[in-house]
Structure 1
Amino acid sequence: MATHIKLLLRNLRRERFYAVINVAGLTLAIVACLLIGLHVYQALTYDQHTDGHKRIYRATIDLINQGGTNTFALMSDTIAPTLALRNPDIEAFVRFKGLPDNSLLTVNDEVYYQEALYGTDTNVFEVFGHPAVYGDTRTALIDPNSMAVSESFNQLHFNGENSIGELVTVNGNDYRISMVFEDVPENSHLKYDVLVPIHGPGFAARPADPVIALFTVNSYTYFVMPENYDTSQFSAFFDAFWQETTAEVLRGSGINNTMALTPIADVHFGQPAEFDQPVGNLLIVYAYAVIGVLILLVAIVNYINLATARATRRFKEVGVRRLLGAQRGALIAQFLLESVFLTVLAAVFALLVIQVMVRAGVPAVLLDELSLELYNSPLVLGAVLLAALILGVLAGLYPAAWIATQSVSPHASTAHSSVREPILRKALIVFQFAVTISVISSTVLVLSQMHFIASMPLGFDQENRLVLTVKGAQPIARLPELTRSLEQLPAVQATTFSTADPAVGFSSGNWRVETEQGQMDSMFLSFQNAGDDYLEAMGMELVEGRSMSNADTGRTVVVNETLVQTLGWSDPIGMRTGMPGDIEGGEIVVGVVRDFHFDGLQVPVSPLVIRLSRPESYSALDPEVAFNQDARVTVVLREDADQGTLQELESVWRRHMPELPFQYRFLDNIIESRYTSESNIISTLAYSSAVSIFISCLGLLGLTAYTTERRTREIGIRKVLGASPSQLLFALFRNVFFLVLIASVIASLLSYYWINSWLANFAYRDEINLLVFPAAALLTIVLALITMVLQSWGPINRNPVHALRYE
């Protein structure tokens, strides 16, 4: 072993240039592969952090009517306890009853909006296994006015100290913190920072009629079932229960509900549902995994190419050692030791690079969802080094075997060896550049699609729209006074009111609509309540009729073109619509708005109703539900609005809404957040392109140096015969250009298939520009040419006398 180590160090000193190239390429590849690998691992282990996750199922409701089937992630909070009394297979259930949008919290005399707040059952910590930082999981939520908060919430408001007993007000109701739990892992489909008892104030209210209560949608529901439970049994059980319980209410309506159970580990990548959290895309996750593996393979290809290319320099060493009795196994072990040493060294450097990136915050830019908890695990660090060891063996096995088994004499030399260049090396160069070209072309095409989305008209104005959040019925009732004051500001052009984010925050549900025959049918559609100036303020275009007006004596609505086309209305003005309980349809259509994209460009425009709502009417709401009301004020700013405008807006807000925080967002940012997944794809592909190009160029740099050195005498003879530098370059590297062309064809086919599959996620997609593929190939060829010229220009312009005196 000591002899092997001495030879290893001696060869590394002698081949410093190639050692640096190999270590640099492997380091970059391991960094990229590890970062992507952590992200992929987190994605594929969603909701698997709970010990009993295989027995936990999330329930969804399928609403079936004449318009088709719609799946809801929310259901009535009365369903789970009712089913548990009838089905002995249900071992436990947990409900998460959410308040609309944000909750208004007062902590340490500071008022702000809190997302991810739910009312839940007292056994939530037993089922989901959240460890306690402070407090007792068994008694945390027994008291109706108790509250459990996450470690992050505790750190933000109480500096991480023991906050048990501290007062927190939620929508006017007082709670005392009884427990602090560890943060919900990032790879959980349902995240929360504040939990209160579902039987506590503000959550316990429900319709008096138990049958009507079954139709409300307010809770995410989870069941604990026996091991390997057959979920089809549960669906049959629910069907029987639903028919028995609701037959009288639903007779003749054409409406039916069914329930399905999904293992919690499958929810994140399952079918999307109404009111669900954003679902993941397995195709994207697998694409990430493939990219990470391909980058690593590019680096391995570099090593194999350079190792076999430099092999002839070591034929004399191999011949001498064989003459002295060395076995082939010992020779292979020597070359494998060198390979393992370089890969392990690269792995150590990669871990150091990632540590620097962590401190600089770079991983959060590289992959937004990346959590570095796994990276800091000793198990992961050990796995990385073990993987590097295995990688070194795999990368070095072919070159070691090839070198050790060549028939050479101890007098063999680099210049006069008759060993032919392995065909495998050419295949590996093709693979290397195919990966690079594929990643480059994919990046360009993804950017093209995102530009297409960004430039596509949405059907409303999103620029210079500032959105303010209003919580509570009484503040909403005062909105006319607020908007009048806001409109007096010089930088404010107009204001409008809606019950959710303008143009994008639409709810969905089963609606009553009139047919051409004058009958009232059920139809699933989207809806939003808004003020009479809503369409004008949002820049939406009326194609028929008029807008809603506060002067209307009845309830009026505006519908979109898709709804009119779906129902086949020949004259939509005057047709009736209504909420599910409105059998006769008491809302009259007064206008038709041109279709606009409120659900994102991944899906086509669906039927829509915009209902007239008057803020003043909120003052008459029952106090039990008054605090749970939400609204938005959209402020249309003029082009000359500046930072001082925000201060003016806040001043007016403080005057009219002293009890509420001044929280604003810009509509274009709200819309942009819908495409976070696509932005992550762009970032990953961009970084991967840069890494692939750099690693490929490193390998080409080494191969160029080797080729130039090996063909030194040929260069001298060609120069003596009158060859120009450009002719010498062409003679030396025409094979490389040919291999890049082959790689470009392969890469184009692979990229086209992947991009076409990804574009299937969009209802509105850009055409694939076929010119991108030759452009990516051309870019790769240019980079390869620059690399080769930089390395070989000196030898090519050297005096041919030195070349002809070679050896």
Structure 2
Amino acid sequence: MLIHLKLALRTLRQERFYAAINVTGLMIAFICTLLIGLYVFQSLTYDQHTESHKKLYRATIDLINGDSHNTFALMSDAMAPTLALQNPDIEGYVRFKTLPEKPIVSIGEEKYLEDAIFGSDSNVFQQFGHQSVYGDPSTALTSPTSIAISDSFNQRHFSGENSLGSIITVNDIDYQVTLVFSDVPGNSHLKYNLLFPINSPGFIPSPANPVMALFTVNTYTYFILPETYDVQKFSDFFDQFWEETTAEVLGDSGISSSMALTPVADVHFGPTVEFDQPTGNLLTVYAYGIIGVLIMLVAIVNYINLATARATRRFKEVAISRLLGAKKRSLIMQFLYESIMQALIAAILALIIIEIIFQANAPASLVNALDLTSLRTPLAITGILFFAGILGMLAGLYPASWISRQKFSSRTVTSGHNRTEPILRQVLIVFQFAVTISVIASTILVLSQMYFISNMPLGFETENRMVITVKGASAISRVPALKNSLNSLPQIESTTFTNFDPGVGFSAGNWRIESAQSQMENSFMSYQNADADYLQSMGLELIEGRFMSPDDENRTVVVNETLVRTMGWTNPIGKRSGMPGSPETQDSEIVVGVVKDFNFDSLEVPINPLIIRLTRPEYYQSLPDSVAPHQIARLTIVLSGPASGQLIQQLSSTWQEHMPELPFEFRFLDDIVASRYTSETGIFNSLSYFSGISVFISCIGLLGLTAYTTERRTREIGIRKVLGAHPRQLLGMLFRNIFVLILFAAIIASVVSYLSINAWLSGFAYRDEINLLVFPAAAILTFCLALLTMTLQAWKPIHRNPVHALRYE
């Protein structure tokens, strides 16, 4: 073993250039594979960080109304305790009650909006596996005004010190810190920084009627049930419960409901439901895994190609060893030691570089997505090095066995090479370039789809629109005065008041609407609440009737084209609608206009029917004190141009004059719209990086192959130059075979990437057509990069004096 190790070290020193090429390619592949492997592992172990995850089931509720079928992740906070009283299989439950909107959190003089906050049951820390940093988890949420904070929140706002007893104000209610708990893992579908009791005074009280309380939608619910529980049994129980409990309220309305349970470990990659937390795409995880494997395979192919090529240069060394009695096994071991050593060096360098990247200037998105803790354990490092050794052995096995099988003669010893060329090397070159071309083509097509989406007309304007959240009925009632002050500024074109993010926000619920036969029907509808300036401020197009006016005596609404088509209306003006169960609005809202369809939801889904209702800030003045502080609205300011620092300061001053109790925090509408496609943008960015890496690894492999080819044929090049060959002819002679292999690779890559991208595009309601010219373009780009790489390496041997090439030893 020691002699093999010494010989391997000697060979690496003598072959520094080729060793550097192999180690660099393998190192880059290891970096990518380790990061991707960590991402895949963390994705496939979502919500498995607690021992009780096998007994936790997240409940979703279905609302069925005729042909309408909607599934919600939120349900009533009264649902879990009501069901637990009637079903002995329920061992317990954990609830996460949401607030209507991001609350205003105050710590000392600091005010900001917090979105990672819920009301929860006191057993949340036990069931979701949180460790205590400060405080006792068993008593943390016993008081209605207690609050638990995460360790990272404590680090940001209390410098990591013991903050027990500190006061945090949420929506003007003071809470006392009773626990600092360990952070929620990154691979958890529900993330939070603050938890307070579910009976906190900060929540809108549930309806006094226990049956009506079941119809509110505000809580994520998790049931604790026996492992391997029959979820169908629970669904049957709920069907019977719902029918018996709500029969008197629903009557013959045609509305029914059902409940489904999902193991908590399956929630993140489960079906998308309304009001859910961001979900993942399992196909995306598998795609990343395949990319990681392909990058490693490209690096291994590089090594095999270069190793078999360099092995022919060592025929003399191997032939002499064989003639002196060396066994085939000994020769194979020598080559395996060299390949394993290079793989281990590459893996060690990869681990060091990953650590440096994360300790230095790693992007926040990368740091948040990956937890390196599992890579830093001795067991993980040992496993990685073992894996690297196995890869090195597999990569070196073919070159070692191939050269040991060759027949050697005295001529081989004299010439130092054999004319036998392994066919497998040509197959591997085809594979290598097929991967490269496929990744490049896929990247271009994903970019084309993202460009198509970003430039597709949404039906409303997004540029230069500043969106500010207004919280509380008292503040909302002051919006008209604030609008007047803002509209007087020369840089402000208009303002509009809504209860959602303008253009892209909406609510959904059961609706009463007049049919084409003039009968009132129940239907599940999307709706938006907006003031009379909404049409002008958002650039919507009115195609029939008029828009709503503040002077309307009756409640008025505007509908979109899709709703008109869905209802079969020939004359929509004057049709009635309304929210069932509300004496003020049931059957009393009159359609006064129709707007052209606009994409108020993601472009991945088609446009649905929509109702735009007139809302006025004065509506909020009559709300009872129990619900008034929880009201949320949006004020959108349409700017005449990009926001300058001076203008923002002016807007902030105007805001503070009218809303001194609220922080001036704004977003731009184009950023809100773009945030809907962060997943697709992430896929494109990843493909861009990996296509570049794949091309780079392939190019450095070509660099080594070119160096070997020109070195092996040095005397042939010299003879041809003496006989008058032009450098272009010499280049063609050297690389004609490579370009034929690239052509075969392009054909294979085009088919694979076309099928893959076509499957990905099927998830979009609006998709760009696949441009077939992308595939030859990717092949030409790869060809040009290969030509450039090989030309740079072969330039010096081709242009040097042939006398030096023809000189023998």
TM category (shorter chain) comes to: over 0.9
Query: Given the alignment of the two structures, is residue 491 of structure 1 paired with residue 491 of structure 2, yes or no?
Result: yes
Q: Distance in 2 between matches of 1:37 and 1:483?
A: 52
Residues of 1 paired with 2:752 and 2:618: CA distance?
59
Q: What is the match of residue 527 of structure 2?
A: 527
Question: What is the SS of the residue equivalent to 1:160?
Answer: coil
Change (3 A) 1:258 1:247: same
The count of corresponding residues between Structure 1 and Structure 2 is 807
Aligned to 1:312: 312
Q: What amino acid is the match of 1:792? A: A
- Asked if the contact 1:318/1:410 (under 8 Å) is kept, the reply is no
Distance, in Å, in 2 between the alignment partners of 1:68 and 1:613 is: 26
Other-structure match for 1:130: 130
Which residue is equivalent to 1:477?
477
Matched residue, 1:765: 767
Rate the CA distance shift 1:521–1:373 in 2: closer, same or farther, 3 A. Answer: farther
Deviation at 1:537, TM superposition (A): 0.7
Aligned to 1:617: 619
**Counterpart in 2 of 1:438?**
438
Once the 2 structures are TM-superposed, how far is the Cα of residue 718 of structure 1 from its aligned partner? 2.2
Deviations 1:492-521 (A, max 9, x none): 111110011111111122222111122222
Structure 1 vs Structure 2 CA RMSD: 1.6
Residue 703 of structure 1 aligns to which amino acid in structure 2?
Answer: L
Report the equivalent of 1:663: 665
- CA positional deviation for 1:532: 1.2
2 CA distance for matches of 1:60 and 1:308? Answer: 58
For 2:400, the equivalent position in structure 1 comes to 400
SS at match of 1:274: coil
Aligned residue for 1:729?
A: 731
1:806–1:775 Cα change, 3 Å: farther
Contact kept, 8 Å, 2:312 with 2:418, in 1: the verdict is no
Residue identity in the other structure for 2:74: L
Give the structure 2 partner of residue 168 of structure 1: 168
In structure 2, relative to structure 1, the CA distance for the partners of 1:519 and 1:307 (3 Å cut) is same
| Amino acid aligned to 1:796 | I
Name the SS for the 2:203 alignment partner. coil
Contact 1:316-1:409 at 8 Å conserved across structures: no
Q: Give the whole-Å Cα distance in 2 for the aligned partners of 1:239 and 1:676.
A: 38
Separation in 1, partners of 2:718, 2:484: 87
Deviation at 1:204, TM superposition (A): 6.5
Partner of residue 716, structure 1: 718
Distance 1:690 1:640 in 2: 35
Structure 1 Cα separation of the partners of residues 596 and 64 of structure 2 = 28
Alignment check: 8 A CA contact 2:186 2:368 kept: no
Q: TM-score, normalised by structure 1?
A: 0.98
Q: Give the Cα–Cα distance (whole angstroms) in 2 for the partners of residues 750 and 106 of structure 1.
A: 55
Please, which moves more after superposition, 763-772 or 585-594?
Answer: 585-594
Q: How much has 1:205 moved relative to structure 2?
A: 1.0
Which stretch of the first structure deviates more once superposed, 731-740 or 45-54?
A: 45-54
Secondary structure of the structure 2 residue equivalent to 1:694 = helix
Which stretch shifts more, 496-505 or 357-366? 357-366
Percent of aligned positions that are identical: 63
CA spacing shift, 1:376–1:615, aligned 2, 3 Å: farther
Q: Alpha-carbon deviation of 1:616?
A: 1.6
Shift of 1:419: 4.0
1-structure distance, mates of 2:526, 2:644:
35
Classify 1:413/1:748 alpha carbon distance in 2 versus 1 (closer, same or farther; 3 Å). farther
Match of 2:272 in 1: 272
Q: What is the CA–CA distance in structure 1 between the aligned matches of 2:684 and 2:380, rounded to whole Å?
A: 27
Asked if structure 2 preserves the Cα contact closer than 8 Å seen for 1:317 and 1:410, the reply is: no
Query: Which residue pairs with 1:385 in the alignment?
Result: 385
Report the alpha carbon displacement of residue 381 of structure 1 after superposing the two structures with TM.
2.7
CA contact (8 A) 2:316 2:415 kept: no
Note the 1:314-329 alignment, pairs <5 A.
314-329=314-329
Greater shift, 454-463 or 365-374, is seen at 365-374
Question: In the TM superposition, what whole-angstrom CA distance separates every residue of 1:318-376 from its partner, at most 9, and x where no partner exists?
Answer: 22323333322222121111111100100111112212221333354668633434344
Q: CA deviation at 1:383?
A: 2.6
Q: Do the aligned residues in 1 keep the contact of 2:204 with 2:627 (CA within 8 Å)?
A: no
Q: Output the CA distance in 2 between the equivalents of 1:449 and 1:194.
A: 39
Residue deviations 1:279-313 (CA, integer Å, cap 9, x gap): 21111111111111101110000100011011122
Give distance in 2, aligned partners of 1:365 and 1:627.
35
Letter in 2 for 1:768: I
Contact 1:151–1:181 (Cα < 8 Å) also in 2? yes
- Cα distance in structure 2, aligned partners of 1:631 and 1:380: 50
Q: Give the whole-Å Cα distance in 2 for the aligned partners of 1:748 and 1:342.
A: 34
1:256 corresponds to = 256
Matched, 1:452 2:452: yes
Partner of 2:146: 146
Q: Does 1:703 align with 2:705?
A: yes
1: distance between equivalents of 2:366 and 2:782?
A: 24
Name the aligned partner's letter for residue 250 of structure 2.
Answer: L
Q: How many angstroms does 1:278 deviate by?
A: 2.0
**In the TM superposition, what is the alpha-carbon distance from 1:410 to its structure 2 partner?**
6.7
- Over 3 Å counting, the alpha-carbon distance change for 1:326 and 1:235 in structure 2 is same
Q: Deviations over 1:621-644 (max 9, x none)?
A: 111111111111000001264221
Aligned position for 2:219: 219
For residues 371 and 256 of structure 2, what CA distance do their matches in structure 1 show?
Answer: 42
TM-score, normalized by length of structure 2? 0.97
Q: Which residue of 1 aligns with 2:297?
A: 297
Quote the Cα distance in structure 1 between the aligned partners of 2:564 and 2:373: 52
Q: 1:783 to 1:413 in 2, by over 3 A?
A: farther
1:5 aligns with 2:39: no
Q: 1:613 & 1:562 partners in 2: Cα distance?
A: 22
Instruction: Read off the aligned partner of 2:41 and give its amino acid letter.
Output: Y
In 1, are the aligned partners of 2:465 and 2:637 still within 8 Å (CA)?
Answer: yes
2:16 is matched with which residue? 16
CA distance in 2, matches of 1:604, 1:378: 51
Matching residue of 1:186: 186
SS of 2:485's equivalent in the other structure is helix
CA–CA distance in structure 1, aligned partners of residues 362 and 201 of structure 2: 44
Partner Cα distance (1:439, 1:186) in 2: 29
Structure 2 residue identity aligned to 1:642:
S
Name the residue aligned to 1:30.
30
User: Per the alignment, do residues 649 and 414 of structure 1 end up closer, same or farther by CA in structure 2, a change over 3 Å counting?
Assistant: farther
Please state whether the residue corresponding to 2:780 is helix, strand or coil: helix
| Structure 2 unaligned regions, length at least 5 | none
- Summarize the Cα distance change of 1:761–1:284 in structure 2 as closer, same or farther, 3 Å threshold: same
**What amino acid is aligned across from residue 598 of structure 1 in structure 2?**
F
Give the alignment of 1:679-698 within 5 angstroms: 679-698=681-700
Residue type of the alignment partner of 2:619: S
Do the aligned residues in 2 keep the contact of 1:363 with 1:370 (CA within 8 Å)?
Answer: no
**Greater mean deviation of Cα atoms: 578-587 or 164-173:** 578-587
Deviation (angstroms), 1:243? 0.8
Residue identity opposite 1:485 in structure 2: S
Following the alignment from structure 1 to structure 2, what is the Cα–Cα distance between the partners of residues 498 and 276?
Answer: 23
Task: Give 1:70-81 correspondences, 5 Å limit.
Answer: 70-81=70-81
Return the offset for 1:134: 0.7
Counterpart secondary structure, 1:412: helix
| Structure 2 Cα separation of the partners of residues 415 and 323 of structure 1 | 15
Structure-2 separation of matches of 1:410 and 1:339: 28
Q: Are 1:67 and 1:522, in contact at CA under 8 Å, matched by a contact in 2? A: no
1:577 Cα deviation from its structure 2 partner: 1.4
Give the structure 2 partner of residue 559 of structure 1: 559
TM superposition shift of 1:776: 0.6
- Who is 1:66 aligned against? 66
Structure 1 residues 575, 263: closer, same or farther in 2, change over 3 A? same
CA–CA separation in structure 1 for the residues paired with 2:254 and 2:146: 43
| Deviates most, 604-613 or 100-109 | 100-109
Q: Secondary structure at the match of 1:653?
A: helix
Q: Distance in 2 between matches of 1:660 and 1:72?
A: 31
Matched residue, 2:195: 195
Structure 1 gap ranges (5+) = none
- The 2-side partners of 1:499 and 1:376 are apart by 48
Is the Cα–Cα contact under 8 Å of residues 366 and 684 in structure 1 kept in the other structure? no
Q: Deviations 1:706-752 (Å, cap 9, x if unpaired)?
A: 11111222222322332211111111111000000000111111111
Alpha-carbon distance between aligned partners in 1 of 2:361 and 2:581, rounded to the nearest angstrom: 53
Compare 19-28 and 753-762 and name the one that shifted more: 753-762
Amino acid at match of 2:626: E
**What's 1:340 paired with?**
340
